[in-house]
């Protein structure tokens, strides 16, 4: 891959993704797959005035060994070092960049229940820090190719060719060629127009139907707003893009208002394993039944992680005729697959999808209908024939999607 294109990608992530400011601290989480690109991102942070950049490396085979050999008690421990690190994040409002390159099957052979129990034990210690940081810091998820991930997508290519091809896909979907900063400014403006159109409609609920069996109604929050693209950090008012790439407009639905069945249209990578060909059924807003051709028990564990894991935290709309979906690639990666398809998310909702959230506490946002959970897991339900109808409080019906694409 040409160094010039990768440099433009690094600049895009740090400038438009994180929008690092002078004096800020940055954490970059990444695998061992593309160290030269990680170094380029570190340098871009410093060029923009970052005071300190810390790289947190990970390696899935080692993570797998930890899960297999450590005791549940050991995995559940929240150490003094971790507490100090969280305290510093809150104090400094540390920027966070996650460069995802994970193997979609990288944790096959681990005990999913053990991992879930360890996460459940640690969550009460982490939650107060996470709540304190909510909406106040800049973060961004982007991607670089991993060898195993690339071979999953392109099994017939050599390892080197698969990685090169995945680089091409990532850069294309991320709008890197040409003037990427200008492209993202225009893209954000277009997403903002779409959000305004939806917000002006003031829908009470959305009704989804598809020939694959999806027949589903979700209630929207009367204080809710649709968002998309970039957003502003609370307090500092710094504009950043949490996802590169991103094609979605989304909102937080009203907790307790979801009825019917949704059928997945893409696999879900969760805890390093793939859940495939699955469906979820809701009653009174809560998941009451699930089924899957593979890793069904993992899906059941996911929706029982805590009380809020069985409720919805996000409704996202993406045209079937979108740039990422038009590549024809199944990425086996949520960052890309969620931006190629309409999706829902189980678990934690977004408080900043409420009008006036900046003057509300987290508890007040939850009382207003925002779901709370330790998880936030997106799964894809969009299809070429999907229809979505918006229904207003007075019963007026407005086509939002027809045959998988925008009608509004």
pLDDT tens digits, one per residue of 321-376? 999 999 999 999 999 999 999 999 999 999 999 999 999 999 999 999 999 999 99
What pLDDT score was predicted for residue 331? 96
Q: How many CB atoms lie within 10 A of CB 2?
A: 9
Sheet bearing 227-228, strands edge to edge: 227-228, 249-251, 312-317, 343-347, 376-380
Helix (H) or strand (E) run with residue 120 in it: helix 112-133
For the chain, which ranges sit under pLDDT 70?
A: none
Q: Is 19 left (phi over 0), alpha (psi -120 to 50) or beta?
A: left
E strand segments, 295-340: 312-317
> What pTM was computed for the model?
0.94
Average pLDDT value for the chain: 97
Task: Please tell me the predicted confidence (pLDDT) of residue 136.
Answer: 97
Q: Are strands 249-251 and 227-228 parallel, antiparallel or unpaired?
A: antiparallel
The whole-number pLDDT of residue 75 equals 98
**What is the per-residue pLDDT for 344?**
98
CATH of 3-173, one of 3.40.50.300, 3.40.1830.10, 3.40.710.10, 1.20.58.1000: 3.40.1830.10
- Show me where the domains of the chain are located: 3-173, 201-406
Tokens of 283: 């009653």
């Amino acid at each position: 891959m040409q160094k010039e294109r990768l440099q433009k990608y690094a600049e895009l992530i740090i400038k438009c993704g994180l929008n690092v400011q002078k004096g800020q601290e940055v954490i970059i989480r990444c695998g061992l797959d593309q160290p030269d690109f990680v170094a380029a991102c570190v340098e871009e942070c410093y060029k923009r005035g970052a005071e300190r950049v810390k790289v947190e490396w990970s390696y899935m085979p080692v993570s797998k060994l930890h899960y297999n050999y450590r005791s549940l008690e050991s995995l559940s421990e929240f150490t003094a070092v971790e507490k100090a690190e969280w305290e510093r994040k809150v104090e400094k409002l540390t920027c966070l960049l996650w460069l995802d390159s994970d193997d979609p099957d990288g944790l096959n052979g681990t005990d999913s229940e053990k991992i879930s129990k360890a996460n459940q034990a640690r969550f009460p210690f982490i939650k107060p820090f996470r709540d304190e940081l909510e909406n106040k810091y800049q973060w961004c998820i982007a991607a670089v190719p991993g060898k195993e991930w690339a071979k999953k997508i392109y099994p017939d290519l050599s390892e080197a060719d698969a990685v090169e091809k995945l680089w091409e896909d990532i850069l294309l979907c991320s709008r890197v060629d040409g003037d990427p900063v200008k492209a993202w400014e225009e893209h954000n403006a277009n997403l903002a127009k779409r959000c305004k159109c939806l917000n002006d409609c003031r829908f009470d609920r959305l009704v989804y139907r598809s020939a694959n069996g999806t027949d589903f109604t979700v209630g929207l929050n009367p204080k809710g707003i649709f968002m998309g693209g970039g957003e502003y950090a609370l307090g500092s008012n710094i504009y950043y893009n949490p996802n590169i790439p991103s094609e979605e407009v989304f909102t937080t639905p009203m907790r307790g208002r979801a009825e019917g069945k949704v059928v997945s249209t893409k696999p879900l990578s969760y805890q390093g394993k793939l859940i495939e060909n699955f469906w979820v059924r809701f009653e009174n807003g809560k998941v009451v039944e699930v089924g899957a051709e593979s890793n069904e028990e993992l899906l059941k564990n996911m929706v029982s992680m805590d009380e809020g894991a069985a409720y919805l935290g996000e409704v996202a709309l993406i045209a079937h005729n979108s740039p990422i979906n038009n590549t024809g690639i199944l990425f086996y990666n949520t960052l890309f697959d969620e931006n190629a398809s309409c999706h829902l998310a189980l678990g934690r909702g977004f408080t900043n999808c409420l009008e006036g959230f900046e003057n509300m506490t987290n508890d007040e946002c939850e009382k207003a209908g925002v779901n709370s959970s330790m998880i936030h897991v997106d799964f894809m339900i969009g299809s070429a024939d999907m229809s979505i109808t918006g229904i207003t409080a007075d019963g007026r019906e407005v086509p939002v999607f027809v045959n998988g694409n925008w009608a509004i």
